[in-house]
Amino acid sequence: MSETPNPNIIDADTLTGEMRPIRRVVVGLGSNLGERLSNLQGAVDALADTPDVWITGLSPVYESEPVDCPPDSPKFLNAVVLIDTTLAANRLLDRALAIEDAYDRDRSDGLNAPRTLDVDLIVVGDRRSDTETLRLPHPHAHERAFVLQPWLDLEPDAQIPGVGAVKELLDKIGTDGLTRRDDLVLESDE
Ligand SMILES: Nc1ncnc2c1ncn2[C@@H]1O[C@H](COP(=O)(O)OP(=O)(O)OP(=O)(O)O)[C@@H](O)[C@H]1O
Ligand SMILES: Nc1nc2c(c(=O)[nH]1)N=C(CO)CN2
């Protein structure tokens, strides 16, 4: 039997024409240049100030040995932020890059050169993307303890869509080079 739409039922999308789904997003933050903790806190504040973005989780801060960086690179501070947003993934990426730019992020110094601030989109809901400007899930997340450990602290059952359980991925690679810094704390009003 075919279903006849009930004209008395109007969904929210039809009413406003603007409702967009809420996406759960995992954002990775890193800094190994300048005032590392205040750079990370600045990124948290900027995300919190972004319209249509709500912070739902802030991880502990970790200090980490540089991975795949030029010799003698300084150690990083890393953390993960969970957000809910109605922004499309590309708009959120624009925002992430603008936040990096606000911290004088210098992109001219070559691969993985020290940086004041790195804001990476790790996963955006179950969105997959493989363009140069936006790769989702982040192609290196599964091999980076400095992403997986703080994410696991917030979500013990976390999964990288299409890749696997964060806990299992972390068990595979281990946490060498990663130190939890409970003396350094990120804050959010939300
Ligand atoms: N998931 C993503 N999150 C952030 N930037 C991404 C993502 N996928 C692709 N990009 C692109 O990567 C570029 C940023 O490169 P950047 O030099 O910051 O890389 P990186 O953060 O140093 O390296 P990595 O991506 O290995 O962490 C941006 O121009 C952005 O368009
Ligand atoms: N420990 C650590 N190593 C890195 C990091 C980072 O955030 N932390 N980011 C990189 C490129 O984005 C490359 N290497």
Pocket test for ligand 2, best of 64, 149, 176 (most atoms within 8 A of CB): 64
**Structure confidence at residue 189 (pLDDT):** 80
Q: What distance in Å separates the CA atoms of residue 43 and residue 102, rounded to the nearest whole number?
A: 9
Q: Ligand 1 centre and the CA of 51: distance in Å?
A: 22
Point out the residues of the chain with pLDDT beneath 50: 1-14
Give the number of whichever ligand sits closest to the CA of residue 29. Answer: 2
20-180 adopts what CATH topology? Alpha-Beta Plaits (3.30.70)
DSSP tag of 35 = S
DSSP 86-112: -S-HHHHHHHHHHHHHHTT---SS-TT
Q: Ligand 1 centre and the CA of 105: distance in Å?
A: 12
C-alpha angle 126/128/129, rounded to 5°?
150
**Structure confidence at residue 115 (pLDDT):** 87
- Give the ipTM of the model, two decimals please: 0.97
The CB of 121 under 6 Å from ligand 1? The reply is yes
Q: Ligand 1 centre and the CA of 120: distance in Å?
A: 6
Taking the complete model, does pTM exceed 0.80, yes or no? yes
pLDDT, tens digit, for every residue of 156-187? 999 999 999 999 999 999 999 999 999 999 99
**Structure confidence at residue 114 (pLDDT):** 83
Q: Whose CA is nearest to atom 4 of ligand 1?
A: 120
